[in-house]
Amino acid sequence: MFQAVAKVSSGRFCPCMGLFVRSNSSRTDQRGILANRVAVVTGSTYGIGFAIARRLAQDGAHVVISSRKQQNVNKAVAMLQGEGLSVAGTVCHVGKAEDRERLVNLALEHCGAVDFLVCNAAANPVVGSTLGASEEVWDKILNINVKAPALLLSQMLPYMEKRGYGYKMGWGLVGYGEPE
Ligand SMILES: NC(=O)c1ccc[n+]([C@@H]2O[C@H](COP(=O)([O-])OP(=O)(O)OC[C@H]3O[C@@H](n4cnc5c(N)ncnc54)[C@H](OP(=O)(O)O)[C@@H]3O)[C@@H](O)[C@H]2O)c1
């Protein structure tokens, strides 16, 4: 689906076949404070992640949207493209290595870079105290909320460092690099 979407050179975004859209709509500010920046947001097809993705795109970033369900990805991408924003999307269950790989590849192949990683996807299998939670519950919390963001960051950080500008945000881990 994403193979023939866009060609990128030297980190510049070149829309050509549809999933990324730049329109002349006044709602897309190509000169926004995030112009030519690339943001990857996990768990971004609805809720808080979707709002973050929309705002980053409204500020001029090219945004890669993702979540577990293809239909949610399609709906979110269609909605934001309909607003004239530059977005693409792919399925990515953050707990699956092959999905994380696909997410990184989409950002690099079609945007040429990564500047921001927002790890919004998280699992909340327990409401209330975790004391007494089963090992299975702890595995889920640690895999989705801690291990997956750390692995995603380690995959993307080399590309973020190349840009001299990187910001990673998540609900479990936070790190950033100032612009040079
Ligand atoms: N809402 C609150 O009051 C609140 C308070 C504190 C913290 N938080 C945290 O803030 C984040 C967003 O909250 P929210 O209320 O917006 O959540 P939400 O409405 O449940 O949205 C979750 C988003 O993440 C995706 N998602 C869920 N599990 C995923 C996984 N394993 N891998 C990738 N994507 C996944 C969902 O799409 P799919 O179903 O398609 O995967 C959806 O796009 C969550 O991490 C939550 O724990 C929320």
Asked if residue 124 has its Cβ within 6 Å of ligand 1, the reply is yes
13 pLDDT above the threshold of 70:
no
Asked if residue 69 has its Cβ within 6 Å of ligand 1, the reply is yes
What are the extents of the domains in the chain? 38-165
For the CA of 76, the nearest atom of ligand 1? 43
Task: Render pLDDT for 162-179 as a digit per residue (tens, 0 to 9).
Answer: 887 677 777 654 444 555
Question: Does the predicted model carry a pTM greater than 0.85?
Answer: no
Q: 7-16, 109-118, 156-165: lowest mean pLDDT where? A: 7-16
Task: Render pLDDT for 101-120 as a digit per residue (tens, 0 to 9).
Answer: 999 999 998 788 899 999 99
Distance 3 CA to ligand 1 centre (A): 28
Selection from 13, 20, 32 nearest residue 64 by Cα:
20
Residue 55's pLDDT band (cuts 50, 70, 90): very high
Supply the pLDDT for residue 171. 64
- The CB-based long-range contact list for 92-97 (8 Å cut-off, 24+ gap) reads 92/42, 92/66, 92/67, 92/68, 93/68, 94/42, 94/43, 94/119, 94/121, 94/144, 94/148, 94/149, 94/152, 95/143, 95/144, 95/148, 97/151
For the CA of 67, the nearest atom of ligand 1? 34
Instruction: Indicate the CATH number for domain 38-165.
Output: 3.40.50.720
